[in-house]
Amino acid sequence: MRDINRIKGCLVGGAVGDALGYAVEFSRLKSILREYGPDGITRYDLDRGLARISDDTQMALFTATALLFGETRGRMRGIGAGPVGYFDRAYLDWYLTQVKSYPLKTGGGYSSWLVNCKELFSRRAPGGTCLSALQEGGHGTVENPINNSKGCGGVMRVAPIGVYFAGKKDWEVEEVDMAGAEAAAVTHGHELGYIPSAALVHIVYRLASAEKPDVYEAVLSSMEAMPKLFPNAVHMQKFLDLMQKAVDLSRQDVDDRKAIRALGEGWVAEETLAISVYCALRHADDFEKAIIASVNHDGDSDSTGAVTGNILGTALGYDAIPDYYLDKLELREIIEEIADDLYKDCRISEYSADRDPVWISKYVEIDYRPENNNK
């Protein structure tokens, strides 16, 4: 099934968690409590009137446009690498927004219309591994890793893959999961850099595909799927043990902060996913409580917030996100526009006379310039 409420929930929910956590990304919990009070940060810390997103949401949006560029290229030209063959190109486009000034030169062979969005030309504490891997060309794959990094820069950007393929009957779940791994492996070559990404995509896919989403079922399904997808993975048991720990803690009478401390700080991908899984399970019916728990700790608050938002945003839907987290969210209009595009998908082909000029401008000619992109 394809449900716009869940697709928007995934993308916007991830951005909400990202923006809430970004203000305290490099703060220890004691500092957070001292500055924001005993409950920690619970509302946005606005910067010039906006709740700023980080590189996590930036890269997730480029992931989404890579899917749509690939699908459109295949339908319009009958050639290409398919919807999952352009992650590297999209991330290289994102890299340009981090090292170049707006506007970019025309005729650059770009794959994402987001290079035409001025507000994305802003460094938001981008991961060093992402930058260095892309500087070298971003040629990493699961089979041929580019490095040995297991940082969280892969897992925080792949959730759009899960919601996009939900309802696409010509794709098996194993292919969808592997797409998540390959998207992360462009920059992160350690098994624990890309296996958590495949697991997150699996969780999101299951939630987006279910008539009645169940976070617990989706998490257990991901834990069953990963050893089958990567039967020779040396670090698989470490990943599964940490995921099981997150599940077990979510069912115990333990304080959120103590539980998260037991799972790590989220700077590496397996810890990011474990913390997010704990928060999503523990507060499965309450988006706000889950997001607040996910960002108030010693570690990588924006990434754990983003992934928690991806999971519960998909499970509960866009309508479950409180209005005060939607108000002032930077680039909300563009995030929702891309969610709408993921839902609509490419409906034109080389064999059809139908043409959508806006879609062609976005995903063929790459010259689309969003209106009101300063919001």
What's the pLDDT at 372? Answer: 42
Sign of CA dihedral 335, 329, 47, 26: negative
What's the pLDDT at 375? Answer: 38
Tokens representing 22 are 């970004």
Digit-coded pLDDT (tens) for 91-115: 999 999 999 999 999 888 999 999 9
Exposed/middle/buried for 243, CB within 10 Å: 0-12, 13-18, 19+? buried
What's the pLDDT at 349? Answer: 85
What's the pLDDT at 178? Answer: 98
Within 10 angstroms of residue 238's Cβ, the number of other Cβ atoms is 14
The domains located in the chain, with CATH, are: 4-363 (1.10.4080.10)
What's the pLDDT at 173? Answer: 97
What's the pLDDT at 77? Answer: 76
What's the pLDDT at 52? Answer: 98
pTM score of the predicted model: 0.97
How many angstroms from the chain centroid is the CA of residue 176? 14
- In which residue ranges of the chain is pLDDT below 50? 372-375
What's the pLDDT at 82? Answer: 80
